[in-house]
Structure 1
Amino acid sequence: MKLLFVGTNPENTGAASHFVALVQAMAEAGHEVGAVVYPDGLIWQGLAQSNVRLYKAKFRNVLDLRGYAAVFKAARALKPDWLVGNFGKEYWPLILAGRLLRVPVALFRHRTPPMKRFSAYLIPRLAQRFLAVSKHARQAYLDRGVPGDLVRVLYNPVNMELCQHNPQQRSEILRSLGLDENAIVLGYSGRIQGGKGISPLFEAAAAAMAVEPRLHCVWLGDGPEAQALRNRAAAHPTVARHHFLGWIHDVHPYYSAFSMLAFPSVATETFGRVSVEAQAAGVPVLGSDIGGIPETLEAGVTGLLLPPGDVTAWREAILKLCDPSLRISMGVAAHLYVQQHFSTRVIADTFQQILIDG
Structure 2
Amino acid sequence: MKFLFVGTNPEHTGAATHFIALIQAVAEAGHQVSVVAYPDGLIARGLAHTNARLYPAKFRNVFDLRGYAATFKAARQLKPDMLVGNFGKEYWPLILMGRLLRVPVTLFRHRTPPMSRLSGYLLPRLAKHFFAVSQHARQAYLDCGIPGDLVQVLYNPVNMAQCRPDPQQRREILDSLGLGDDAIVLGYAGRIHGSKGIFTLLEAAEQAMASEPQLHCLWLGHGPSSQELHERITAGAFAERHHVLGWINDVHPYYTALSMLAFPSIATETFGRVSVEAQASGVPVLGSDIGGIPETLSPNVTGLLLPPNDVGAWRDAILSMCDPARRMPMAAAARDFVQQHFSTSVIADEFVKLLRDKPPEHSSASHPLQQPRDSSAR
Q: Same fold, TM exceeding 0.5?
A: yes
Whole-angstrom distance in 2 between the partners of 1:193 and 1:72? 40
CA distances 1:238-271 after superposition (whole Å, capped 9, x unpaired) = 0000110000000000001000000000000000
TM-score (structure 1 length as normaliser): 0.99
Q: Identify the residue that residue 159 of structure 1 maps to in structure 2.
A: 159
Aligned to 1:131: 131
AA aligned opposite 1:256: T
> Using the alignment, how far apart are the partners of 2:182 and 2:77 within structure 1?
55
User: 3-state SS of the aligned residue for 1:314?
Assistant: helix
CA distance in 2, matches of 1:349, 1:42: 25
Question: Partners of 2:97 and 2:15 in 1: how far apart?
Answer: 21
The offset of 1:324, in angstroms, is: 1.1
Correspondence 1:32 to 2:32: yes
**Structure-2 separation of matches of 1:86 and 1:215:** 40
> Which deviations, in whole Å up to 9, do the C-alpha atoms of 1:71-94 show, x marking residues without a partner?
110001111000000000000000
Deviations along 1:182-239, one digit per CA (max 9) or x if unpaired, are 1000000000111100011000000000000000000000011111111111011100
Match of 1:194 in 2: 194
Q: Which amino acid aligns with 1:11?
A: E
Give 1:51-90 correspondences, 5 Å limit: 51-90=51-90
| CA deviation map 1:292-335 (0-9, x unaligned) | 00000000000000000100000000011111122111011111
Alignment of 1:1-358 (within 5 A): 1-358=1-358
Q: Secondary structure at the match of 2:216?
A: strand
Letter in 1 for 2:149: D
Could you tell me how far apart the structure 2 residues matched to 1:62 and 1:306 are?
42
CA distance in 2, matches of 1:223, 1:65: 34
Distance 1:104 1:215 in 2: 53
In structure 2, distance between residues paired with 1:157 and 1:179 = 32
Q: Distance in 2 between matches of 1:17 and 1:325?
A: 34
Unmatched tracts of structure 1, length 5 or more: none
CA distance in 1, matches of 2:325, 2:170: 19
Amino acid at match of 1:83: L
Instruction: Supply the distance in 2 between the matched residues of 1:170 and 1:231 (Cα, whole angstroms).
Output: 28
Moved more, 319-328 or 256-265: 319-328
Q: In structure 2, what is the Cα distance between the partners aligned to 1:94 and 1:357?
A: 22
d(CA) in 2 for partners of 1:233, 1:69: 51
Q: How large is the RMSD of aligned CA atoms in angstroms? A: 0.5
**Unaligned stretches of 5+ residues in structure 2:** 359-378
In structure 2, give the amino acid aligned to 1:71: T
Instruction: Report what 2:361 is aligned to.
Output: none
- In the alignment, which residue of structure 1 is the partner of 2:363? none
Amino acid in the other structure paired with 1:117: R
User: Take 1:357 and 1:93, find their aligned partners in 2: how far apart are those partners?
Assistant: 25
SS at match of 1:170: helix
Separation in structure 1 between the aligned mates of residue 29 and residue 110 of structure 2, nearest angstrom: 23
CA distance in 1, matches of 2:72, 2:278: 39
SS at match of 2:23: helix
Q: CA deviation at 1:357?
A: 1.1
Q: Please state whether the residue corresponding to 2:152 is helix, strand or coil.
A: strand
> 2:332, 2:79 → 1: CA distance?
43
What secondary structure is seen at the aligned counterpart in 2 of 1:180? Answer: coil
SS in 2 for 1:237: coil
**Which residue in the other structure is 2:367 paired with?**
none
Q: Report SS of the residue matched to 1:318.
A: helix
The one-letter code sitting in structure 2 at the alignment partner of 1:285 is V
Deviation, structure 1 residue 4: 0.4
One-letter amino acid of the counterpart of residue 55, structure 2: Y
TM-score scaled by structure 2?
Answer: 0.94
Q: Report the 3-state secondary structure (helix = DSSP H, G, I; strand = E; otherwise coil) of the residue aligned with 1:188.
A: strand
Deviations 1:29-72 (A, max 9, x none): 00001100001111100000011111111111111111111111
Identity value in percent: 73
Aligned to 1:208, the other structure's residue is in SS state: helix
Question: Offset at 1:164?
Answer: 0.9
CA–CA distance in 1 between the matches of 2:148 and 2:157? 23
- SS of 1:3 mapped into structure 2: strand
Q: In 1, distance between residues paired with 2:50 and 2:320?
A: 41
